[in-house]
Amino acid sequence: MPEVFFPGPAGRIEGRYQQQPQENAPRALLLHPHPQHGGSMNNKVVYRLFQGYVNAGYSCLRINFRGVGKSEGAYDNGEGEVTDAVTALEWLQDQTPSVGSITVIGYSFGAWISMQILMRRPEVSNFILVAPAPNMFDFSFLTPCPHPGLFVYGSNDALVPKQEVDALVSKLIDQNLVEIEYQIIQGANHFFQSHEQEVVDTCLAYSQRIAHRTFEQLHKFAVPLPEATKDDPLSDDDAEGGDFDVEFPDE
């Protein structure tokens, strides 16, 4: 995948980017686990998700937060990493100035950063949180959550108690503003070892469902074109023309 660099708040940001040829292709930004515990854009789950979404027709960007890999700067307790992610989102939009949807996908620490982007950027269409950790990161800023999304949790996650994720999901559902889905991958731990493809399949299935629902909504409210008449036929010329102390595996 092509290596890219672009200016960030703490220096250059390193990423991998794959653009689709279609102008209206959906877009995805992927954010990795905790920078201080081995998290990087080459994490297996992030890498497999990137591949899966590229193969599904998305223009995809994954980045290294500041201080990781070739990205400049140093870890900033989440505050700087949010600005890194916002900068990456803006860069992605600059490469694809289209009406394609934007999905932000975050894994663990990256899930926390993803939700903070959602509260700042209304152009984001939906989110996917893989192994979010509300027992470690504060999600109280989600009042309310402005976008639909998916939570993915491993049933054998020993780092994040299920009741913590259940409570966060329930909080968003109770707001009754957006549709929230919650999928549990049986037998998977926080790192989804040997379950990476299940994560990809679960996330892609959700993205396909929400894309279909969006299409149906647009079709429902579409304004019908006038019928052609003998005196005024329609032609093509009439048409006018998106802190925890664990080690995240890098590979």
Task: Specify the residue for token string 């509300």.
Answer: 134
Domains in the chain: boundaries: 3-220
The span from the CA of 171 to the CA of 61, in Å, is: 30
What is the C-alpha radius of gyration for the chain, rounded to an integer number of angstroms?
Answer: 19
3-state DSSP percent of the chain in helix, strand and coil, to 5: 35, 20, 45
pLDDT on residue 51: 98
How far does Cα 149 stand from its chain's mean position? 9
CB 16 within 8 A of CB 50: yes
**Tens digits of per-residue pLDDT, 154-196?**
999 999 999 999 999 999 999 877 899 999 999 999 999 999 9
Sign of the alpha-carbon dihedral angle for 84, 86, 88, 94: negative
Confidence at residue 227, expressed as pLDDT on a 0 to 100 scale: 44
Indicate the pTM of the whole model. 0.85
Residue 53 DSSP symbol: H
Largest distance between two CA atoms of the chain? 75
Q: DSSP 3-state assignment of 3?
A: strand
Q: Which residue has the tokens 């989804």?
A: 192
- pLDDT for the residue 1: 62
Q: Tell me how far CA of residue 173 lies from CA of 83, 179, 192, in angstroms.
A: 28, 7, 25
pLDDT in tens, 74-106: 999 999 999 999 999 999 999 987 778 999 999
Topology classification of domain 3-220: Rossmann fold (3.40.50)
**Could you tell me which of 70, 170, 68, 59 has the C-alpha nearest to residue 110?**
68
* Residue 212: band (very low, low, confident or very high) from pLDDT cuts 50, 70, 90: confident
pLDDT category, 214, cuts 50, 70, 90? low
- Residue 105 is predicted with a pLDDT of 98
Could you give the residue ranges of the DSSP H alpha helices within the chain? Answer: 44-55, 79-95, 109-120, 162-174, 196-220
